[in-house]
Structure formats: C-alpha cells, structure tokens
Amino acid sequence: GVRGVEVAPGERVQASDATPREVGDGATLFSNLNATTDGPDGDPLCDSHGSADLTSDIWYLYAPECDGRVTIDTCDADFDTRIAVYDGGGCPSAPSSMVCNDDACGLPNGWQSRVEFDGLERQPYLIRVGGFNGTEGQGTLTVSTSCATIFSDGFELGGTGQWSSIRSEERR
C-alpha cells in the first residue's frame, strides 16, 4: 500500500490515505505530530538503544539530479528523530532499509538523525522520518547531493575532493 505523509497537528493520516511528498535538494519543514506508524517494524539497521522501530512516521520521495553522495538530516528537529531510506519508489513491506540512523547530529542535543549513501541519478528513494520510542515534533528535513565527476579512466572526484575508483557498471 501507499504510505502516509506529514500531517498537520490534530490531523491523522493512515497509510492508505496519502502518497509520499516529493522533495528535492534543500530544506523542507516537517511535522510528525499525530502521524500514525505505518512502516515495517524491527529494521535491524535502525536498532539502537534497545529499539529498531521508527514511530509516527512520515514519508518523502527523493530522486537525485546526479550520481553522488546523498546526505539527509533532521539536525534542527525539536524531538528525537530517526531516518530510514529505502531503495526504489515502492512501499517497503519488510524491514529492508538501505541506511538508517538515530542520533548522528551531535551536540548540543544529539538526538537528531543524519544518513548518507551513494545515490544514482533519477533513482527514486523513499525517505522515512519518524521518532524514537513514540516521540513527535517538528523540524527541517535537509537533503543534498554532492555530485561525482566520472572520468574516462574509471575514477571519480566526489564532492569531498577525494579520488576513488568505481566499478564499470557504476559508470553513467
């Protein structure tokens, strides 16, 4: 089924009621107040502090404009967040995130999340933003892609300024 998206305070949205909100690079205000939990439970990549669940989750759809390193964070949120990212635009039915995080933003609060992964141009990724152990609140979802420059010799120079070799099937 189709997953729920962000909701206004006081509104409840079920998985069958909405589709993920499309986002691009930049900042998007969000609120998961009164959102239901409708994603798969128990994702092992999300396991920290005795729990592997994202609660009161909201969903976004992102397709990078280039191949490169994708960074997604909720570092300014006013609650303890978790982020999971799923490959493809379809609804995950099992705990199958490609990356998940809880508590990566550091001080002063340290309860917010950041994930990074190598994204492919125009490949859809589902972003799931939720709370740890039932927490809810508001914040900014920030998404960016550091585009990689692929050279004919099979090496790339990414946004970090570091060279790395790539497999031929990853070249575009």
Lowest mean pLDDT among 22-31, 81-90, 103-112: 103-112
Residues 27 and 76 sit within 8 Å (Cβ to Cβ): no
Q: What number is the average pLDDT over the span 30-45?
A: 84
pLDDT category at 166 given cuts 50, 70, 90 is very low
Per-residue confidence (pLDDT) for residue 22, from 0 to 100? 94
Share above pLDDT 70 across residues of the chain, in percent, rounded to a whole number: 71
Residues 131 and 46 sit within 8 Å (Cβ to Cβ): no
Mean pLDDT (the chain) is 78
Residue of higher predicted confidence among 157 and 110:
110
Which SS3 state, helix, strand or coil, does residue 164 take?
strand
List pLDDT tens digits, range 93-106: 777 889 988 888 87
Residue of higher predicted confidence among 157 and 6:
157
pLDDT category at 153 given cuts 50, 70, 90 is low
pLDDT category at 11 given cuts 50, 70, 90 is very low
Q: How far is CA 50 from CA 11, 22, 53, 110, 122, in A?
A: 30, 32, 10, 17, 35
Residues 21 and 101 sit within 8 Å (Cβ to Cβ): no
pTM of the full structure: 0.76
Per-residue confidence (pLDDT) for residue 75, from 0 to 100? 93
56 alpha carbon, distance to own chain's centre: 15
List pLDDT tens digits, range 52-71: 678 899 999 999 999 999 99
Per-residue confidence (pLDDT) for residue 150, from 0 to 100? 57
In the predicted structure, residue 74 carries a pLDDT above the cut 50: yes
Q: How far apart are CA 75 and CA 39, in angstroms?
A: 22
